[in-house]
Chain A
Amino acid sequence: MHNNIKNVKRCTKCILSANFPRIKFDEKGVCNFCNNELLHSTEQEDITSATLEVQKLFDDKRGKSEYDAIVCYSGGKDSTYTLKLAVEKYKLNILSFTLDNGFISPVAFKNIEKVVTALGVDHITYRPSYEFMKGLYRVSSLENIYNPKTLTRISSNCNSCISIINITSLKIALEKRIPFILAGFTLGQIPSNTIYYQNNYEFFKESRKPILDKFKSEIGPEVSRYMEISEDLLKSSESFPHNINLLCMEDITENEILEKIKPLGWIKPGDVDGCSTNCRINSFNNYVHTLKFGYSPYELELSHLIRKNLLSREEALEKLFDQPEDQINYAKSELKLDENQILKNKVV
């Protein structure tokens, strides 16, 4: 698989490959995304507008609830910096929340402990049963659960995990009347027009129903416990929180982030791939995505960072190719999956 990743034709400016949806190259080998034909050209407007609106929202709601915001904290570098920003820059009273998916690096757990201690925030960890998580990853790997559009930015397995994080954080926010949910997504991972938005669970629920139905039929009714919110809780909720991605409003390189979080005691785990700083199933997730679609789920994000001059093309390729076989094999063994099973539902 890695030879395929390395040998595929790529844009000469970014790292988008010939297998990426709707890509075209000009005579110099530059893709239509770099040439701005397919990009939303008003990203800076979105950032400027979000910065003003988010500050207003924080000023309006700060200090009026048990916590000002819940931070979805994976222990990775981006969510660590998000937590730091929330506490130190925006002066918010934070509840930090980690979803333990069963594949978090032990070093990442130590990072979480050190960082929440250094920043003086309350913290909770929620661990769904390991059997459930493995079932979720198996189904997400084998079946074509999600809209291909969703999967241009993220692997199916990561999307399933993030769905549980989103639902769990929303449940906590509704139960505790917390007005904001903060996450560590960067531009490239999410579009610039979703830097902040108010949750609309009812409509999301309707649009996600086919996905949940597929999971329920494959895994069982326990899917509801992890991926839905009870009617009682919804009825008792007066308003829905805003989801905000603080990192999207920061112009900062990865190295600068690492320097900023070093004093908190954060160190890079050695048992993760080049695209993750906390999760040991990420390489497997990338492997499944690449097998099915012919490109890495990190191409869009890394290419965005290159265009913003926050990462060099060489650094991006190094991250993309750093996908340790031992981690892929470990996940295959835990999930009891092999390549032939995954290839049955190949998309390209």
Chain B
Amino acid sequence: METKEKIQSDLLQFLSRQFFVDIEDIQIDKSLIDTGIIDSMGLIEIASYIKKTHGFVVSNEQMNRDNFGSVLKLVDFIYKTKS
């Protein structure tokens, strides 16, 4: 089982490459949309990343602010779903 630290580190690498942003500029406790890192299509890209990297499909019901609201929330969501 991957640690939360590993999940977060991989996610930040993905966000940096996919959305042309430096890791230091990503505020991990803030909404990626509100801080201008991603747009609404970015949510689809993150869901696709989760499927490919962590092996589960994100349902429409799971794609909400509680799970996708920040990097920290995404890490929690991925960790809990996998365990």
Contact = CB atoms under 8 A, between A and B. Distances in A.
Given A42-B52, A200-B60, A200-B63, A149 B19 contact: yes
Contacts of B39: 146-147, 149-150, 207
A348 to B, nearest CB: 14
Contacts, number: 66
Interface residues on B, range: 20 to 34
Contacts of A152: 20
Nearest to A36: B17
A63 interface: no
A190 B19 CA distance: 12
B17 A38 contact: yes
Nearest to B49: A193
Given A193-B52, A200-B60, A203-B64, A149 B36 contact: yes
Contacts of A256: none
Binding site of B, secondary structure by majority: helix, strand, loop or mixed? helix
Interface string B18-47: 111100000000000100111111111101
B20 A149 contact: yes
A198 interface: yes
A80 to B, nearest CB: 24
B40 to A, nearest CB: 4
A58 interface: no
A190 B45 CA distance: 10
Given A22-B20, A207-B33, A240-B60, A147 B65 contact: no
Contacts of B60: 198, 200, 202-203, 240
A321 to B, nearest CB: 25
Contacts of B8: none
Contacts of B65: 206
Contact of A39 (B17, B37, B52, B68): B17
Given A152-B20, A203-B64, A207-B33, 14 more contacts: A22-B21, A39-B17, A45-B52, A147-B33, A149-B19, A149-B21, A150-B39, A194-B44, A194-B48, A197-B44, A200-B63, A203-B60, A203-B63, A204-B43
- The 9 closest A-B CB pairs, nearest first, are A193-B48, A207-B40, A150-B39, A147-B39, A22-B20, A197-B44, A204-B40, A200-B60, A207-B33
